[in-house]
């Protein structure tokens, strides 16, 4: 099995790969080992999309890392004693460019002291009857990302569908879960805002323009080793 090590300290795993009969490569891997935290995994998925990933902890913050000793993980990799779990992704399209996200897509105010005004459509149906929303912005999350920014806004998580969290709106706006197949349109009517996707530089959104967010045709794959796969953890 061909293994690519990803993460700033990942080279320390090289001797262990050799010990367990695993081949280290720098391209065309069968599996990518993300050695770090949650952010390392997001970057590894950006750089090697669709390749199965193993998340091994080298950080205090890695809620989804394997809870097994590293040597046991490598042994089970060699023996192919794992389960492959599919992870949905999001695709955000703006200004003829597409951005792929595992966790979430954030449409946020660009000026800390100024709220933005926007509207949301779901499958061409206006949410809140087309009411203009005033606040810090919108987060569209996958189940995998629901334990991150979405959770900090809503104090909740989910396992099915896509989540919409309305961040710090001036009037009460209910957070909602929609179907995976639904398409979200964010329309910026006033203010300075950015499109933020983990792994990409923030992109400024122009007043009067819109961003389309939907489930991507791409998917991610995370390997687990006997433990039940969970989208989120405490």
Residue ranges covered by each domain of the chain: 2-81, 89-217
The CA distance from 49 to 214, in Å, is 17
Predicted confidence at residue 221, as pLDDT, reads: 95
Q: What is the pLDDT of residues 78-110, one digit of tens each?
A: 999 999 999 999 999 999 999 999 999 999 999
Q: What is the pLDDT of residues 115-170, one digit of tens each?
A: 999 999 999 899 999 999 999 999 999 999 998 899 999 999 999 999 999 999 99
Classify burial at 20, counting beta carbons within 10 Å of its beta carbon; exposed 0-12, middle 13-18, buried 19 or more: middle
Q: Do domains 2-81 and 89-217 have the same CATH topology?
A: no
As assigned by CATH, the class of the 89-217 domain is: mainly beta
Question: Which of 211, 229, 198, 221 has the alpha carbon at shortest distance from 29?
Answer: 221
pTM for the predicted model, two decimal places: 0.91
231 has a pLDDT exceeding 80 = no
Kindly report the length of the chain: 234
The CA-atom distances, in angstroms, between 79 and each of 2, 12, 16, 19, 75 are 13, 22, 15, 13, 6
Kindly state the average pLDDT of the residues 201-209: 95
Sheet holding 203-205, edge to edge: 176-178, 162-167, 137-141, 104-109, 193-196, 203-205
The CA distance from 230 to 89, in Å, is 16
Average pLDDT score, the chain: 93
Region 2-81: CATH code: 3.40.50.10330
Percent of the chain scoring above 70 in pLDDT: 98
What confidence tier does 199 reach under pLDDT thresholds 50, 70, 90?
Answer: confident
Beta strand residue intervals within 116-179, DSSP E = 116-122, 125-126, 133-135, 137-141, 162-167, 176-178
Q: Tokens in use for 184?
A: 């979200």
Angle at 123 between CA 171 and CA 186, to 5 degrees: 45
Predicted confidence at residue 233, as pLDDT, reads: 64
Owner of token pair 């979405």? 150
């Amino acid at each position: 099995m061909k293994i690519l090590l990803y993460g700033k300290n990942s080279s320390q795993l090289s001797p262990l790969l050799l010990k367990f009969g695993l081949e280290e490569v720098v391209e065309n891997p069968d599996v990518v080992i993300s050695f770090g935290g949650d952010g390392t995994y997001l970057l590894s998925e950006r750089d090697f999309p669709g390749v199965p990933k193993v998340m091994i902890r080298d950080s205090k913050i890695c809620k989804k890392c394997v809870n097994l000793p590293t040597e046991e993980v490598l042994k089970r990799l060699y023996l192919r004693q794992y389960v492959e779990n599919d992870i949905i992704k999001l695709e955000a399209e703006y200004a003829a460019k597409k951005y792929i996200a595992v966790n979430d897509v954030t449409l946020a105010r660009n000026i800390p002291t100024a709220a933005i005004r926007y509207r949301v459509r779901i499958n061409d149906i206006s949410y809140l009857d087309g009411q203009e929303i005033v606040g810090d912005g919108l987060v569209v999350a996958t189940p995998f990302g629901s334990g991150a920014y979405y959770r900090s806004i809503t104090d909740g998580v989910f396992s099915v569908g896509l989540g919409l969290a309305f961040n710090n709106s001036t009037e009460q706006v209910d957070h909602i879960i929609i179907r995976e197949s639904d398409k979200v349109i964010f329309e910026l009517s006033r203010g300075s805002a950015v499109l933020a996707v983990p792994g990409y530089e923030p992109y400024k959104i122009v007043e009067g323009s819109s961003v389309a967010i939907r489930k991507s045709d791409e998917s991610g794959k995370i390997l687990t080793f006997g433990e039940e796969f969970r989208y989120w953890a405490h």
